[in-house]
Structure 1
């Protein structure tokens, strides 16, 4: 009993992580494969392709199996974040709150549910930082492996370059510069769109990744630490990604997935600064901090709720495709409706929908007489409806081309 009392923070974190992982699996089961994910699953030959295919091979072809590796990386990232912050906070309660906020960041949750590299990059970055904090030396083997995993690690190498230059670590300075050059040679760094400012778009995306007030506090924390505090390796990793994302946004639209994973690992720095700022004040002067913290947490969990339970938003929209998660809905439901009518091969003008339906056993055949469309048709043989709370959300029009 005494041992359990002493490790109350571990028990709480374990319990919350277990419950929330179950929630993520439930949400994953209701997320259809997107067109981009279908391309990755079937056509691309990269880490995401092999991870998702391996998972489906062992767990069966389902939405959960498709997303299971990324939920697993989420769980491992939370555990590593907890281990990395050992002895970082004065109180274990501060450490627990910091890790809980990290695990409930909207950007982290979103990354854990989608077939993309973000959650893998987050895990790898925390793994590297955990090794550095534990052994007080850099793991160059890990850094070399990272070169071949994803182009976004170029940001990590650049951050380490600046950190080494500031702290006069010659070996890290040379190796990080070489690895940055190698990463750029292999992958380049993708930007796209016409030359114009996307600074407001980038700002809005970061606000959605953190939640608005938490992002403002992140901005304040990074500035405060940069001006008055100790610029640790965590600060360099986060600030390098943050600044370069905004610098590039002045001219080009960026892939925020290349930068965000390095920004979110700074949560422990933010929380340590907050608790220090809180406790240097007398108890009677802490009321404003408590109110701002309560409002910040409220908005954070509202954002999390919207991400996880977003289907009711369809009830407020005139067009279903206006929903932010539209690309991850309905393919599974459409496939089930078709299969109930013994339709297993189809053709359509919507090539993206056809690619998604392949995952659920509906095959594409240009010679098929079964034509489907989610765009309204004047003449059709049958209309399938997808309803939510007795409200029609989407129609699928079926035409038998034999007629």
Structure 2
């Protein structure tokens, strides 16, 4: 076993261990809680399956199905890299890059449809690239039932089939695109407003800033001079579509990003090709650039994973990106310490989170974030530091 392969195996084991730890300690989020109590989607069913099978695993129970999906996606991505790249160094580099992406790490521990999208999309790509097209066509209808992200995917597939003049694929894409639009519609709403910078910032958070900069360059370079494969076409089309739409309205980035990140092998191949055509004395800038990109990537992912200490150093802990996960949990703990088992709140998502922790809705107490006459303050603390304050008042019946 080569040293690089051994390093990747050790990194993979560390990655899985850290993800298990994060999944076991991360409280349920507002979207997850609402989905758990009101949703009838595949994601909601997977959450309930996890709780049924692992009732004593607390937070881990709702996340186990998505960790399993993550393992499947890592395997599929590795196989995809092997199908696309001939060099082992390129395969392992692409795999490690995918492994460390903040967007992939977060999708592994959160109850979202991203894992399902990635699994079906990568299965389709593998079958299509290996010339098992009719099996690939059987995967396509499954993607229709995951969520509304299938609209943009089938649109990209339609444009690819038109470009390649692939009649069977075109017929399947048109049919499924029409079905997706009929099921989910096309979201064009609100007063036109430019969210382009916000969307770029979200992609930078999913990839890490420097990596996304090079990824965008790689996609553009392939457009000009490279081989425009189905993987490149779908990734570039959806990336471009998301940026164009963001000039008018805020887009749900989770509907676009899964189809974009899978193109990581193309970026890695372009880098190594550019690196190897140069004489050794001219390769140093490439090595330095790679070190900078991966240093920022590792730092971003480390902050994402080991985020709790930030509650102790931020001037305003309530602006912590994980505050919507932790504050309701700590609030529930504080309420239980005061013997309060049921509260009424106007915040619907908060009510679902509190319900998950055993604080029932429509109780004899009112919970709010603002003080009211006669209300008792409940201080939410983490390691002795005051993080936030909520107010509880008795409801007079």
Relative to the length of structure 1, the TM-score reads: 0.91
Q: Which residue of 2 aligns with 1:107?
A: 103
Q: Which residue of 2 aligns with 1:32?
A: 27
8 Å Cα contact 2:377/2:389 also seen in 1: no
Pairing 1:171–2:165 present: no
Q: Which residue of 1 aligns with 2:389?
A: 395
Q: CA deviation at 1:203?
A: 1.2
Deviates more, 1:139-148 or 1:373-382: 373-382
Distance 1:372 1:177 in 2: 50
Pairing 1:200–2:197 present: yes
Q: CA deviation at 1:330?
A: 2.6
Pairing 1:294–2:291 present: yes
Q: Which residue of 2 aligns with 1:252?
A: 249
Deviates more, 1:338-347 or 1:56-65: 338-347
Q: CA deviation at 1:72?
A: 1.8
Distance 1:286 1:376 in 2: 62
For 2:122, which of 93, 109, 126 is the aligned residue? 126
8 Å Cα contact 1:387/1:394 also seen in 2: no
Q: CA deviation at 1:320?
A: 3.3
8 Å Cα contact 1:191/1:255 also seen in 2: no
**Number of aligned pairs?**
395
For 1:16, which of 11, 30, 55 is the aligned residue? 11
For 2:220, which of 200, 203, 223 is the aligned residue? 223
Q: CA deviation at 1:163?
A: 2.0
Q: Which residue of 2 aligns with 1:185?
A: 182
8 Å Cα contact 1:191/1:253 also seen in 2: no
Distance 2:345 2:226 in 1: 59
1:268-289, CA deviations, whole angstroms, 9 ceiling, x for partnerless residues? 0000110111011111110000
User: Structure 1's 50 and 87: CA in aligned 2 closer, same or farther, altered over 3 A?
Assistant: closer
Q: How does 1:1-400 map to 2 (within 5 A)?
A: 5=1, 12-60=7-55, 62-138=58-134, 139-366=136-363, 368=364, 370-376=365-371, 379-381=374-376, 383-388=378-383, 390-400=384-394
List structure 1 runs of 4+ shifted beyond 6 angstroms: none
1:246-302, CA deviations, whole angstroms, 9 ceiling, x for partnerless residues? 121121211111111110000000001101110111111100001111000011111
Kindly report the root-mean-square deviation, in angstroms, between the aligned alpha carbons of the 2 structures: 2.2
Q: Which runs of 5+ in 1 are unaligned?
A: none
1:34-66, CA deviations, whole angstroms, 9 ceiling, x for partnerless residues? 222111111121111111111111111621111
8 Å Cα contact 2:116/2:146 also seen in 1: no
1:196-228, CA deviations, whole angstroms, 9 ceiling, x for partnerless residues? 221111111111111111111111111111111
8 Å Cα contact 1:190/1:255 also seen in 2: no
User: Structure 1's 94 and 251: CA in aligned 2 closer, same or farther, altered over 3 A?
Assistant: same
Q: CA deviation at 1:310?
A: 2.0
1:217-248, CA deviations, whole angstroms, 9 ceiling, x for partnerless residues? 11111111111111001001101110111121
